[in-house]
């Protein structure tokens, strides 16, 4: 079959904060850049980010990057790579000022400087007191950031392919990456996008869980595509559950609410976080707070007729603060919980929120995987940034506001690395003849499948399985059963059937193709979680309740083929300062 082909210097899959920050760097350097997105760029999930972006500007209280680095290492439960963490925290002020100069409308303090608010797990003086580090535009920081980046990209002539879905990564016999195949949703046509550098910025995969704060498009496509061509997925057992999703719907209530002074209460009106984290209380890190909520519910102190949720109280902040600093939250509470937080507390439960794992990269955004000789070599032509990547700065638990920072720091550094790499690699490599076969076979299967199950039904089974067997607390026997159940779901995924086989805007086909990616992410998660016999960060096991640095201070690598697991060491050595050695983690 003759498939149309287009050539670019760089193809970027994903138009969220990560993809657009990288694209900007590349387009401004004069390269020919294509950015693909399943949705209009400013509808990417980054738009939903509420609370802010971390940087030690010190606009409210004294601060420095070294304290930020300490918090991030501690927050990661020592699984984060300390070279990458130093790199990120040191660059934070610079990249935030850069956003400011691009025109990002941050809130302002009286003196005109960027407004900052406290956030969970961020401290001063190496854990001493609460830091005020999150730079914010009300509770719509991601919205402000994404629109700013989009406008800059338009003026830099980045070429957007809107409502295009990348299907598969093109990798040749040598293991080099040469572009992607993609589906134009409007027509149903398939195209080959050839590139000298291919960057994935496809975002998270929170849709593997039943209750999730993530957008419906967050289906882990980048991870699925990488896994299918033999790239391992790193640290997939670590999923962040956000403590405050709206009860019954999962929509996020930002930690900014607690940053502004809101707090959690149980059915007795008790401020229970004082028992779990006497020092940081409601602003302990997210894994700690989510476990506290789950324990309150389990021990019968939950609120409501089923005692199955808790309350987030903020009415004491006053109408003024709520309306000016948390307008989006108020809107969400009114719309989804049918209460006005100026008067009543918001009903909340822990909800799947963020994927700490992803495609393994170094701090230049280059994907590292077994290639020719070693287990951790740069894969030529392949880069990843943002939530789909694992650098790893978040380790076993991410601190709030560090993700937006990760997008901008590593989006920029990947852009710079690609500019350097393309100077040496000035020609497009020859494409193999069978290059689109995998994608065409996947589409043909869907067109010809008979007697299959619906995508909705199998998708529901996948999400229920993950929610039941791989949630906030994990149990040995449940994880074992979970591995078996998810294998059964995988067999069902391979036989889904769609009723609508038309070509134009066929969203049923898109959802079926997304399910192929969700199952890769779900399988990697369950298998990696079953294998890790300790509790660390967001991975809490009943049979191994303690962290075990002797055996488990290492990154997991999951390979799709034979579901093989391997491990690689954590990089404990920072770039210039001395290492923060693992110690007990308390808040
Ligand atoms: C509700 C919510 C609030 C949050 N608040 C904060 C916060 O305040 N601070 C913070 O630091 N972090 C926050 N986070 C986390 C942070 O927002 C995300 O981790 C981050 O925005 C992800 O950005 P990204 O660029 O990696 O991906 P995204 O913004 O998710 O973008 C992914 C892009 O990839 C495209 N894509 C995916 N698959 C394909 C495909 N197959 N073909 C073509 N295109 C594809 C999508 O269309 C999209 O353009 C929040 C997350 C959520 C869900």
Q: Indicate the burial class of 430 (C-beta count within 10 angstroms; 0-12, 13-18, 19 or more).
A: exposed
Q: Indicate the burial class of 269 (C-beta count within 10 angstroms; 0-12, 13-18, 19 or more).
A: exposed
Average of per-residue pLDDT across 123-149: 96
289 falls within a domain: yes
By C-alpha distance, which of 19, 11, 15, 23 is closest to 39?
A: 15
What percentage of the chain carries pLDDT values higher than 90? 97
Count of other CB atoms within 10 angstroms of residue 125? 12
Q: What are the residue ranges of helices labelled H in 532-565?
A: 549-552
244 annotated as a binding-site residue: no
Q: Which of 48, 49, 181 to mutate to test the pocket of ligand 1 (most atoms within 8 A of CB)?
A: 49
Q: Which residues pair with 264 in a beta bridge?
A: 312
pLDDT of 267:
96
* Catalytic position from the list 21, 286, 412, 532: 286
Strand order in the sheet with 564-569: 233-234, 554-559, 564-569
Q: In the structure encoding, which two tokens stand for residue 140, read together?
A: 């719509």
Please say which residue of 349, 364, 392 terminates a domain. 349
Look up the domain containing 331 and give its range.
243-349
To the query of whether residue 286 is one of the catalytic residues in this protein, the response is: yes
Q: In the structure encoding, which two tokens stand for residue 365, read together?
A: 């955004």
Q: How many angstroms separate the alpha carbon of residue 403 from the centre of ligand 1?
A: 9
Does the beta carbon of 17 sit less than 6 angstroms from any atom of ligand 1?
yes
By C-alpha distance, which of 523, 554, 532, 505 is closest to 392?
A: 554
Q: Which 3-state string (H, E, C) describes 9-38?
A: EEEEECCCHHHHHHHHHHHHCCCCEEEEEC
221 annotated as a binding-site residue: yes
Question: Can you spell out the DSSP letters for 268-285?
Answer: T---THHHH-TTTGGGS-
52 annotated as a binding-site residue: yes
How many Å apart are CA 53 and CA 309, to the nearest integer? 29
Does the beta carbon of 21 sit less than 6 angstroms from any atom of ligand 1?
no
Q: In the structure encoding, which two tokens stand for residue 159, read together?
A: 């070429």
Q: How many angstroms separate the alpha carbon of residue 219 from the centre of ligand 1?
A: 11
Q: What is the pLDDT of residues 454-507, one digit of tens each?
A: 999 999 999 999 999 999 999 999 999 999 999 999 999 999 999 999 999 999
Query: Domains in the chain: how many in total?
Result: 2
Q: In the structure encoding, which two tokens stand for residue 490, read together?
A: 């995988």
Backbone angles phi, psi at 115, to 5 degrees: -70, 140
Helix (H) or strand (E) holding 555: strand 554-559
Contact 217, 31 (CB under 8 A): no
How many Å apart are CA 400 and CA 549, to the nearest integer? 25
CATH number for the domain that contains residue 449: 1.20.58.100
Residue nearest to atom 2 of ligand 1 (CA): 49
Does the beta carbon of 19 sit less than 6 angstroms from any atom of ligand 1?
yes
Contact 454, 445 (CB under 8 A): no
Helix (H) or strand (E) holding 160: strand 159-162
pLDDT of 297:
93
Count of other CB atoms within 10 angstroms of residue 309? 23
Q: Is the pLDDT of residue 1 over 70?
A: no
Domain shared by 442 and 540, yes or no: yes
CA of 215, closest atom in ligand 1: 53
CATH number for the domain that contains residue 281: 3.90.700.10
How many Å apart are CA 485 and CA 74, to the nearest integer? 34
449 falls within a domain: yes
Does the beta carbon of 54 sit less than 6 angstroms from any atom of ligand 1?
no
Residue nearest to atom 33 of ligand 1 (CA): 14
315 falls within a domain: yes
How many Å apart are CA 173 and CA 484, to the nearest integer? 33
Q: Which residues pair with 181 in a beta bridge?
A: 168, 192
Beta strand 263-265 with 310-313: parallel, antiparallel or unpaired?
Answer: antiparallel
Per-residue pLDDT band for 202 (boundaries 50, 70, 90) equals very high
Per-residue pLDDT band for 165 (boundaries 50, 70, 90) equals very high
353 annotated as a binding-site residue: yes
Q: Is the pLDDT of residue 375 over 80?
A: no
pLDDT of 32:
97
pLDDT of 412:
98
Contact 554, 547 (CB under 8 A): no
By C-alpha distance, which of 166, 34, 201, 185 is closest to 438?
A: 166
Name 94's Cβ contacts closer than 8 Å, sequence gap at least 6.
none
338 falls within a domain: yes
Q: What is the pLDDT of residues 42-78, one digit of tens each?
A: 999 999 999 999 999 999 999 999 999 999 999 999 9
Please say which residue of 526, 546, 566 terminates a domain. 546
Chain-centroid distance of CA 542 in Å reads: 26
344 falls within a domain: yes
DSSP state of 432: P
By C-alpha distance, which of 405, 257, 441, 283 is closest to 341?
A: 257
Q: Indicate the burial class of 188 (C-beta count within 10 angstroms; 0-12, 13-18, 19 or more).
A: middle
The pLDDT mean for the chain works out to 96
Residue 393 three-state SS = coil
Average of per-residue pLDDT across 23-32: 98
By C-alpha distance, which of 182, 241, 235, 179 is closest to 206?
A: 241
Q: What is the pLDDT of residues 210-231, one digit of tens each?
A: 999 999 999 999 999 999 999 9
Q: Which of 202, 222, 245, 407 to mutate to test the pocket of ligand 1 (most atoms within 8 A of CB)?
A: 202
Q: In the structure encoding, which two tokens stand for residue 572, read together?
A: 């404990």
474 falls within a domain: yes
By C-alpha distance, which of 142, 139, 137 is closest to 43?
A: 142
Residue 319 three-state SS = helix
Please say which residue of 546, 564, 581 terminates a domain. 546
pLDDT of 493:
97
DSSP state of 45: G
532 falls within a domain: yes
301 falls within a domain: yes
How many Å apart are CA 469 and CA 467, to the nearest integer? 6
Q: Is the pLDDT of residue 373 over 80?
A: no
Residue nearest to atom 10 of ligand 1 (CA): 401
46 annotated as a binding-site residue: yes
By C-alpha distance, which of 220, 225, 231, 223 is closest to 169?
A: 225
């Amino acid at each position: 079959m003759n498939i149309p082909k287009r050539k670019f210097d760089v193809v970027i899959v994903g138009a969220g904060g990560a993809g657009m920050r990288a694209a900007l760097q590349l387009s401004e350097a004069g390269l020919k850049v294509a950015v693909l997105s399943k949705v209009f760029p400013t509808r990417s999930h980054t738009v939903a980010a509420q609370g802010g972006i971390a940087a030690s500007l010190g606009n409210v209280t004294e601060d420095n990057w070294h304290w930020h680095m300490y918090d991030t290492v501690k927050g990661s439960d020592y699984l984060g790579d300390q070279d990458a963490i130093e790199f990120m925290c040191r660059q934070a002020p610079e990249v935030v000022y850069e956003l400011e100069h691009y025109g990002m409308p941050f809130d302002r303090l009286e003196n005109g400087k960027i407004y900052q608010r406290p956030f969970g797990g961020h401290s001063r003086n190496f854990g001493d007191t609460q830091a005020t580090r999150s730079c914010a535009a009300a509770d719509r920081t991601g919205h402000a950031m994404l629109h700013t980046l989009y406008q800059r990209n338009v003026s830099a002539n980045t070429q957007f392919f809107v409502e295009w879905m990348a299907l598969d990564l093109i990798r040749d016999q040598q293991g080099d990456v040469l572009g992607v195949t993609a589906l134009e949703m409007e027509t149903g046509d398939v195209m080959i996008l050839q590139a000298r550098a291919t960057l994935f910025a496809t975002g998270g995969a929170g849709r593997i869980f039943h209750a999730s704060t993530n957008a419906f498009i967050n289906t882990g496509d980048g991870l699925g595509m990488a896994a299918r061509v033999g790239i391992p997925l790193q640290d997939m057992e670590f999923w962040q559950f956000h403590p405050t999703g709206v009860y019954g719907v999962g929509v996020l209530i930002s930690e900014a609410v607690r940053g502004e002074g809101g707090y959690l209460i149980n059915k007795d009106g008790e401020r229970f976080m004082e028992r779990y984290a006497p020092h940081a209380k409601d602003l302990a890190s997210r894994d700690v707070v989510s476990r506290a909520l789950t324990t309150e519910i389990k021990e019968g102190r939950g609120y409501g007729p089923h005692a199955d949720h808790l309350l987030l109280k903020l009415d004491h902040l006053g109408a003024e603060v709520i309306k000016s600093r948390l307008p989006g939250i108020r809107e969400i509470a009114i719309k989804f919980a049918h209460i006005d937080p100026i008067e009543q507390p918001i009903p909340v439960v822990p909800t799947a929120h963020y994927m700490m794992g992803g495609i393994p990269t170094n701090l230049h955004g280059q994907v590292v995987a077994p290639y020719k000789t070693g287990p951790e070599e740069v894969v030529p032509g392949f880069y990843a940034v943002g939530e789909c990547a694992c650098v790893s700065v978040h380790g076993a638990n991410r601190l709030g506001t560090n993700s937006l920072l990760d997008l901008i720091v590593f989006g920029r550094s990947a852009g710079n690395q690609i500019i350097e790499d393309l100077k040496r690699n000035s020609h497009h490599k020859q494409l193999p003849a069978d290059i689109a076969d995998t994608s065409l076979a996947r589409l043909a299967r869907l067109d010809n499948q008979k007697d299959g199950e619906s995508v909705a039904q199998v998708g529901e089974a996948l999400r229920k399985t993950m929610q039941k067997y791989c949630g906030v607390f994990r149990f040995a026997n449940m994880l074992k059963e979970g591995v078996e159940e998810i294998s059964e779901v995988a067999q069902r995924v391979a036989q889904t059937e769609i009723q609508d086989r038309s070509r134009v805007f066929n969203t049923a086909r898109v959802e079926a193709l997304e399910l192929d990616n969700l199952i890769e992410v779900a399988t990697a998660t369950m298998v990696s979680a079953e294998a890790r016999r300790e509790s660390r960060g967001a991975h809490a096991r009943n049979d191994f309740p303690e962290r075990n640095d002797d055996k488990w201070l290492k990154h997991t690598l999951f390979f799709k083929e034979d579901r093989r697991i391997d491990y690689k060491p954590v990089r404990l050595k920072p770039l210039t300062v001395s290492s923060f050695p693992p110690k007990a983690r308390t808040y």
